[in-house]
Each structure stands twice: as structure tokens, then as C-alpha cells.
């Protein structure tokens, strides 16, 4: 008999597995929290620090940075969708094998700008060689890549931010996804790159299958289309992959809110009680990005206010009982930060009290004294 699952049940399990129902307690490694999230979006490092911090009691940005730059249990590199994420170092064999196995779409660049697959391979290899054991700025890395490949790699033909970048930079994200590159600590105001700890990648198909199972355990029930959206993969490829995994018994079909969906095989246990509570999630938090259906996570006015053209992550969100019910923004001045929260409905006295605790938690993560203001957020997306 096919298992039937409601939104409330799915939401409760996702919140529990994301450490959003009950934050991880002392002794839980930062890398374990990031692993439960299936990576933390880190284009802006402070947002990733908040993502991790609200899931782990007592954790601050110092702990996240120590995991990155001291014990190297985390790496900051190009992850899902080619964007910058924090990944657990021990999971690089899975991530890099799976990400490089995802078919890439057509190049967005003009014919005279593109590199061939052979050239892309040369660039990635040159990046890995140049960064082995050192940290380089982008200009220093560019010199090394051109020296190892040829002048063609340095041709300034790639349009970017009202400028032209050298040709080789169009595959920078592929170097990150393959394990040839990750971010290093800043050198003053300059970003640096280095190479992550050496590892042996898993066989590609094994890694892809494992990633699907991990995704479904974290965010299931889900569909191949939602998985493709989360990973920025072709829909047809994802559909065939789910068909194969169904045939091998890796995944199991269920009914989710009246429609077919999938969970990892045997993973059909769901809480019967709805998770209550208030949480503040930063820009591009994993929960807001991955949880589907989006119209149930962003119900009513939240879909209009907290999304930008249907895209999640552009605004930090107020989460109440597992759904988005507002947006927020924090502005730091010295050792203080003002956390302005715009609820889209009336909060109970208990929820307002929890909101104050959550604002303080954000301040603690960022090592600042937080002041909560309940009012209109005037900042736009990405502000």
C-alpha cells in the first residue's frame, strides 16, 4: 500500500532533520550541521554563518571560520547550481563526483569566447596544479593558469560586470565542483583561492545515486523535477535518473499532498505532530531553497513578498511553524545590529517572545548585540 504524507508531516520531518526543530547541541560538529543541510549557501559568508549558527546552539561565526581555515572540516567552494557553498570536507568525494556527472547546458557565451571541452580540462588541471599547497589571488592564479596552458586562456573576452575577464574564468566554477579549487582565507581585502585536501572521488554513478538519497532524506518527499531545480540539472536527465533508482529499489514512491513523489527506500516514517516555533533564516538558506512545493512553503502573501519572481533566497525569511510568514533584514553598526522583522500576519505573544530570542541568536552568531524592531523592511532583495 502506498504511503500518503501530508504537508504538515513532511514539514515536521524536514525541520527536525535540518536542526530547525531542535538546534544541535554542544559536541555536534559544524560540519555535521552543514552536512544535514546538504551544503550552506555562502556567496556571502556571513549568511552561511547565520544558517549554521541558528541550527547549532552556542555556535558563532568564529566556529564556522575555525572549521574553514583551521581544522578544514569545511571548504568554501562551488557547489549545487555552480554557486558558492560551504561543504563538509569529508563529503568532497561524493559532491565532486556527483556535480561533475551532471550534464551541463549550452554555453551562455558567444562562439568566439567559449572554450572547448579539451581546453576546459586543461584549465581545470592547471588550476589544481597552481593551487596545490598555496593561496593565490585571482590575478596571481590567472598568471599561473596562462603560464600552464597558453596565451589563449588569458584573452580578455569574457563579459563580466561591465568589464572583460580572461577566457579561462568561465570554467572557474567547474574547477571548484571538481575539487581542484576552493576559497582560502582573505588576504586583506583580496579573496584568495587554494586547493582543498586531496581525496579520491567516488565513481560518478555511485555518487549521483547517493546524492539523490541524501537529498530525499533531507527534503523529501520530492520529485525529479524539484531535484533538478535544486541542482540546476536538466529535467530529462533527472527524470531518467529517478526512473533508474526506482528500478533498483533505491527510492520509493509515496503520495504527497495527493500527488506522486519519492522518498529514499524505507524512509517512510514521519512525525504526526506539527513542529511549532519561530526561526529567522538568512539569504539563500538551504531550507528556503530546497523545500517544495514552494507555494506551500510561501503561502498567500508570502509568495509575493518573500520571493523575487518566484525565486527563493533573495530575502531573509521569518519562518513560523515551518512556513514563511514574513521577511527581515539586519543592519550592523559596530558591535550592534538592528534586526528589523516584517511579519505578514499577527504574531501571538509567545511568537513575539520567540522572535526576540531568535533576533538575539542572530546577534550572538555574528558577535553583535541585537536590537529587534518589528516593522516594515524597506531594503530590497540582496540588500
- Cα separation, 224 vs 231, in Å, equals 10
Residue 383 is predicted with a pLDDT of 66
By C-alpha distance, which of 204, 213, 203, 211 is closest to 250?
213
- Cα separation, 118 vs 239, in Å, equals 29
Are residues 37 and 95 in contact, defined by beta-carbon separation less than 8 angstroms?
no
Fold annotation for 204-264: Arc Repressor Mutant, subunit A (1.10.10)
By the 10 Å C-beta count (0-12 exposed, 13-18 middle, 19+ buried), 216 is classed as buried
DSSP state of 76: E
**CB within 8 Å of 126: residues ≥ 6 apart:** 144, 145, 148, 149, 153, 168
Give pLDDT < 70 ranges for the chain.
383
**CB within 8 Å of 220: residues ≥ 6 apart:** 10, 261, 262, 263, 264, 267
Which helix or strand (DSSP H or E) is residue 260 part of? strand 259-264
By C-alpha distance, which of 96, 193, 181, 85 is closest to 140?
193
- The pTM of the full predicted model, rounded to 2 decimals, is 0.94
| DSSP 3-state of 40 | strand
- Cα separation, 195 vs 134, in Å, equals 8
Any idea where the domains of the chain sit in the sequence?
107-200, 204-264, 278-374
- Cα separation, 9 vs 104, in Å, equals 35
DSSP state of 311: B
The 10s digit of each residue's pLDDT in 267-288 is 999 999 999 999 999 999 999 9
Does 107-200 carry CATH code 1.20.120?
no
List the grid coordinates of 272: 504526526
Amino acid at each position: 500500500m502506498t504511503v500518503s504524507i501530508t504537508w504538515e508531516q513532511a514539514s515536521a520531518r524536514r525541520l527536525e532533520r535540518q536542526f530547525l526543530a531542535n538546534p544541535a547541541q554542544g559536541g555536534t560538529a559544524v560540519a555535521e550541521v552543514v552536512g544535514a543541510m546538504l551544503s550552506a549557501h555562502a556567496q556571502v559568508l556571513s549568511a552561511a554563518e547565520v544558517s549554521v549558527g541558528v541550527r547549532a546552539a552556542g555556535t558563532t561565526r568564529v566556529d564556522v571560520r575555525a572549521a574553514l581555515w583551521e581544522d578544514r572540516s569545511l571548504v568554501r567552494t562551488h557547489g549545487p547550481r555552480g554557486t558558492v557553498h560551504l561543504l563538509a570536507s569529508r563529503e568532497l568525494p561524493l559532491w565532486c563526483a556527483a556535480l561533475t556527472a551532471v550534464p551541463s547546458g549550452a554555453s551562455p557565451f558567444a562562439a568566439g569566447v567559449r572554450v572547448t571541452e579539451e581546453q576546459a580540462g586543461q584549465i581545470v588541471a592547471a588550476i589544481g596544479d597552481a593551487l596545490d599547497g598555496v593561496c593565490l589571488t585571482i590575478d596571481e592564479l590567472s598568471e599561473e593558469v596562462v603560464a600552464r596552458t597558453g596565451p589563449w586562456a588569458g584573452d580578455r573576452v569574457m563579459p563580466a560586470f561591465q568589464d572583460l575577464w580572461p577566457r579561462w574564468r568561465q570554467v572557474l566554477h567547474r574547477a571548484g565542483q571538481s575539487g581542484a579549487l576552493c576559497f582560502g582565507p582573505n588576504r586583506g581585502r583580496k579573496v584568495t583561492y587554494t586547493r582543498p585536501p586531496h581525496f579520491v572521488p567516488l565513481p560518478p554513478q555511485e555518487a549521483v545515486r547517493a546524492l539523490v538519497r541524501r537529498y530525499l532524506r533531507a527534503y523529501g518527499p520530492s520529485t525529479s523535477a524539484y531535484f533538478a531545480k535544486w541542482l540546476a540539472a536538466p529535467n530529462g536527465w533527472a527524470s531518467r535518473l529517478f526512473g533508474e533508482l526506482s528500478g533498483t529499489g533505491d527510492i520509493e514512491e509515496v503520495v504527497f499532498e495527493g500527488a506522486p513523489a519519492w522518498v529514499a527506500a524505507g524512509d517512510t516514517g514521519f512525525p504526526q505532530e506539527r513542529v511549532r516555533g519561530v526561526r529567522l533564516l538568512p539569504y539563500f538558506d538551504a531550507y528556503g531553497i530546497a523545500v517544495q512545493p514552494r507555494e506551500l512553503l510561501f503561502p498567500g502573501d508570502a509568495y509575493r513578498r518573500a520571493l523575487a519572481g518566484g525565486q527563493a533566497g533573495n530575502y531573509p525569511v521569518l519562518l513560523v511553524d515551518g512556513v514563511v510568514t514574513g521577511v527581515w533584514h539586519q543592519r550592523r553598526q559596530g558591535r550592534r545590529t538592528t534586526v528589523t522583522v516584517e511579519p505578514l500576519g499577527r504574531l501571538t505573544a509567545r511568537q513575539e517572545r520567540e522572535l526576540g530570542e531568535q533576533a538575539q541568536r542572530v546577534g550572538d552568531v555574528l558577535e553583535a548585540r541585537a536590537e529587534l524592531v518589528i516593522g516594515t523592511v524597506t531594503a530590497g532583495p540582496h540588500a
